[in-house]
């Protein structure tokens, strides 16, 4: 990845507009910034959140708080706790996430 045409800046995530994205159950609250072709998000998943789709988008995801369970289409499962991350390429391995406790994430894609 080549990051170009992004001047130095800071982001106060508390001032970024929140958008709601309903899951099969629960809600994801996104705060999103775009820098060229790079989307950067601060995402809060409500307790009981379950994604409503299998995702094929590539991400680098870092868990800030809570616990996030991610299931791959082939049946493998992973748990992220604070301080852990995962990364996956576009169209590599379909995945979906859920959380019973809720989770706060930082995502680059």
The full set of domain ranges for the chain reads: 18-45
pTM of the full structure: 0.91
Model pLDDT, residue 18 = 98
For 90, other C-beta atoms within 10 Å of its C-beta total 9
> Which pLDDT tens digit goes with each residue over 22-35?
999 999 999 999 99
The CA distance from 54 to 73, in Å, is 8
Model pLDDT, residue 4 = 85
């Amino acid at each position: 990845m080549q990051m170009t045409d992004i001047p130095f800046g800071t982001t106060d995530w508390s001032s970024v507009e929140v958008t709601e994205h309903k899951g099969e159950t629960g809600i994801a609250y996104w705060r999103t910034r775009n820098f060229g072709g790079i989307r950067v998000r601060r995402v809060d998943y409500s307790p009981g959140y379950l994604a409503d789709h299998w995702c094929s988008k590539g991400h680098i995801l870092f868990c800030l708080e809570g616990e996030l369970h991610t299931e791959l289409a082939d049946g493998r499962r992973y748990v992220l706790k604070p301080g852990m991350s995962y990364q996956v390429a576009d169209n590599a391995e379909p995945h979906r996430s859920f959380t019973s406790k809720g989770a706060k994430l930082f995502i680059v894609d």
